[in-house]
Structure 1
Amino acid sequence: MSPLGSEWARVPPEQKREFAERFVVGIPMLAEDILREIQREYPRISANPVDRGEPVALTAIRGALEHFVQQVTSDSDRDRAHPRVFQELGRGQLQHGRSLDSLQGMYRLGVRLAWRRLAEIGQQIHIPAPAMYELAETGFEYLDGLVAQSMLGYAEAAAREAGERLRLQRRLLEVLLGEPARPDSADAVAERAARIGWPLPERVAVAVLLRPARDALAPPVSQDVLLDMESERPRMVVPDPESPGRAELLRRTTAGWSGALGPSVPLAEAATSLRWATVAVGLMERGLLPSGEVLDCSEHTEALVLLPPWELIDALARRRLAPLAECGPTHGRRLAETLLAWLETRGGAPEVAAQLGVHPQTVRYRLRQIRELWGEELADPATRFELEVVLRAQRLRGGFGAEGGGGPEELGPAGPGPLRPGTDGRPQG
């Protein structure tokens, strides 16, 4: 509170002492009147705690009135700090679910009632009006200080509450996403969810995020989404991921982030969704899945199934694609592309040519070579399946090998007939 101006300074000391004595005598009754009026305007204030037999609010009002009049009638600068009880009132607002707006309204009401009494005393002992105007301005400055104290208490309580919620939320995530699941996991999840007021959903999806920057702010997800920003890769548990509008809301709130959202699973299988999201993020970091957004794993099933077992697919590729070793790199790649197109379309030269964007005669030539390289193996459904698996995996990795030398393709005047699966599964010329 800033010191009073020259008009108040001109008030004689004995007049100030009388002003203070008259006001102090009436403080107990004035404090009760102020509290009663506040309770009438704000009925919920009656829920405030009691300390030593009286409401904390009454103690605060009386203390503020005594402190204010002591400051304005004393020449000493000591004890300029506002009563700390107003920090407690700020904390109480948060604990009782009330806003600071209502508290400030109570303070303004109290100051208005107190000023009426101060003005009455000023008139009774003939303090000049200009001096009383200065006193009124100082009163509103004092009010600002009380509000600041309450805001500090409110903020401290909010920080503690948020920290406690984060601690409890981490404990919930530990058991929800832990593997292997404990025998009492369901009970532990229910107990920990209840402590933070998280309604248990039937299904969830778990996302793994990649930070766009070390100091990136947390995505502004809704309250029902559990967000763990403490992990190196932030994790997010999304309840009821298939509910209407949820996907679009997630897309907006995670704008600017990269990551993957695992499949929707029952709550008890949340760790499974996390596992797939982790796999997808690993592929994203290796450049095998697009980044720049939070991908839905269910839309990238082929990549998630074929790319992670890298060593197994490579071993199968060495065995099933061995016939291509006889060809040059470029010609081998073209034959591999053609074989995969034929396996996918199960059509003749025109259908395969349309998929590859080449002439049907070129396809007929390649299919004849494919039949010569693999022979009777192409009649086996299991072999065709394995060939399609390894070729799809190679395509997902970026192609069928590097460009290299290779002989030109030959096109006869008629070329071979199309390679088709016969009624017994064997390719027919």
Structure 2
Amino acid sequence: MVIAVRSAWREVPPQQVHRFATLALAEVPSLAHEIFREIRHEYPQLPLILDESGEPRALVGIRQSLEHFVAHLTNGMDRPLVHPRVFQEFGRGEGIQGRSLDVLQAIYRLGVRLAWRRLAEIGQEVAIPAPAMYELAESGFEYLDGLVAESVRGYAEAAARQAGERLRMQRRLMDQLFAEPDHPLLTERARLLGWPLPERVAVAVLLRPDREAVAPAVADGILLDMECERPRLVVPDPEAPGRRELLARAAAGWSGAIGPAVPPLDAAKSLRWAASAVDLMERGLLPAGELLQCTEHTEALVLLPPGELIEDLTRRRLAPLAHCGPTHGRRLAETLLAWLETRGGAPEIATRLGVHPQTVRYRLRQIRELWDGELDDPDRRFELELVLRARRLRGELG
């Protein structure tokens, strides 16, 4: 069952409503000027913006809103309102200037208060009943809400445009950093963005946890490009106290790596190392689930990326193990690596490997026989340690 809501305004005789609207429309020009003057008095800091005809846009908006509202009264206050679009422009202007909407809303409330004072006087002149005037006041505040909504829409649009333009400028700056940097151009793009060019930067490369992942909540000053398949960050002054911890918290839930700190003109080098570390993450050769520091994984980054070179060197230097069988060959390789790293005696190596010293002595004799005199050559020892460390990094040795 639908219960009809009684409207005091609709019960006012049409002739009386028409008389009220006629008087109100006649007052609109002078009332608009009065409201405009009061606003200029209360908020003298607001800029005076003129339209194409040289008339203040604020005055035009006030007049249009009054005319719209009065026209609304003659239709029983039940017709959907189309608010003047100029109020979107007001909100858009506040957004472009970087101000909040608080002052604008205060101005709207001031205008409604002044307008209501005059409408109440006209209501008394034509003997509009008090309940109908109360309903008119409620309608006025609803109308105010609509004006605010228009301004919020314009404000949001301006904010979105500015954010989009800033992101485009940020990506252009990052592209310049990663290309062959032209120092004057780089400085100019940084200036336009309001990004003080730091002495050193570090570049991070991220792996998306999923396609809909929320962007890391990085601090001001950190450049972020989410348009890449692998999002990238440029971190100014990465060695500043607390910077690493803040960045780790911002990137919580993301996997990635941050390259070494370099001068801005060498940002591409930091990017290359970070990308290389992320490649190793995807291959399962570096741990995922956090933001790794490349400088803490130098061994893996040096030995693992040039896979073909290391594999060829491994094939040649570990050829003596080819006929030892996989299990025994792995044990000999682990013993040889422990000896190369420590150059210690059997007891020390045995402790490292968790076996008996006599077992180590037996394996070392075999190793000497397999490699003959090569172990006396420092270059051969260096190459053997390289390939054995690479095998350990790949998880092929204990």
Same fold flag (TM > 0.5): yes
- Spell out, residue by residue over 1:137-160, the C-alpha distance to the aligned partner (whole angstroms, 9 max, x if none): 100110111111111111111222
- Residue 195 (structure 2) aligns with: 198
Counterparts of 2:193 and 2:232 in 1: how far apart (Å)? Answer: 18
Counterparts of 1:221 and 1:372 in 2: how far apart (Å)? Answer: 58
Name the TM-score, length of structure 1 as normaliser.
0.87
Change (3 A) 1:5 1:196: farther
Contact conserved, 2:209 with 2:255, CA < 8 A, in 1? yes
- Give the counterpart letter for 1:166 in structure 2: L
Aligned pairs for 1:19-418 within 5 A: 19-45=20-46, 47-51=47-51, 52-74=53-75, 80-178=81-179, 181=180, 185-400=182-397
> How far apart are 1:42 and its partner, in Å?
3.5
> How far apart are 1:77 and its partner, in Å?
7.2
- Give the counterpart letter for 2:132 in structure 1: A
> How far apart are 1:375 and its partner, in Å?
2.8
Contact conserved, 1:5 with 1:134, CA < 8 A, in 2? no
Contact conserved, 1:206 with 1:237, CA < 8 A, in 2? yes
Counterparts of 2:80 and 2:348 in 1: how far apart (Å)? Answer: 92
- Give the counterpart letter for 2:199 in structure 1: E
Counterparts of 1:233 and 1:81 in 2: how far apart (Å)? Answer: 45
Counterparts of 2:234 and 2:38 in 1: how far apart (Å)? Answer: 47
Contact conserved, 1:306 with 1:393, CA < 8 A, in 2? yes
Equivalent residue pairs, number? 393
- Spell out, residue by residue over 1:253-285, the C-alpha distance to the aligned partner (whole angstroms, 9 max, x if none): 111111111111110011111111111111111
Larger deviation: 193-202 or 272-281? 193-202
Counterparts of 1:350 and 1:221 in 2: how far apart (Å)? Answer: 51
Change (3 A) 1:248 1:42: farther
Equivalent residue of 2:373, what SS? helix
Change (3 A) 1:222 1:44: farther
Contact conserved, 1:48 with 1:92, CA < 8 A, in 2? no
Counterparts of 2:214 and 2:397 in 1: how far apart (Å)? Answer: 41
Q: Percent identity?
A: 69
Larger deviation: 77-86 or 376-385? 77-86
Counterparts of 1:140 and 1:270 in 2: how far apart (Å)? Answer: 56
> How far apart are 1:226 and its partner, in Å?
1.4
- Spell out, residue by residue over 1:54-86, the C-alpha distance to the aligned partner (whole angstroms, 9 max, x if none): 321121112111111121134597783000000
Equivalent residue of 1:209, what SS? strand
- Spell out, residue by residue over 1:20-41, the C-alpha distance to the aligned partner (whole angstroms, 9 max, x if none): 2332333333223323333444
- Give the counterpart letter for 2:38 in structure 1: E
- Residue 411 (structure 1) aligns with: none
Counterparts of 2:166 and 2:254 in 1: how far apart (Å)? Answer: 24
Larger deviation: 198-207 or 19-28? 19-28
Query: Which runs of 5 or more structure 1 residues have no equivalent in the other structure?
Result: 402-429
> How far apart are 1:287 and its partner, in Å?
0.6
Counterparts of 1:61 and 1:333 in 2: how far apart (Å)? Answer: 86
Query: Which runs of 5 or more structure 2 residues have no equivalent in the other structure?
Result: none
> How far apart are 1:342 and its partner, in Å?
1.2
Counterparts of 1:199 and 1:234 in 2: how far apart (Å)? Answer: 22
Counterparts of 1:40 and 1:205 in 2: how far apart (Å)? Answer: 52
Contact conserved, 1:122 with 1:132, CA < 8 A, in 2? yes
Change (3 A) 1:227 1:26: same
Contact conserved, 1:107 with 1:143, CA < 8 A, in 2? yes
Counterparts of 1:121 and 1:244 in 2: how far apart (Å)? Answer: 68
Computed over aligned residues only, the root mean square deviation of the Cα atoms, in angstroms, reads: 2.0
Counterparts of 1:5 and 1:44 in 2: how far apart (Å)? Answer: 45
- Give the counterpart letter for 1:259 in structure 2: G
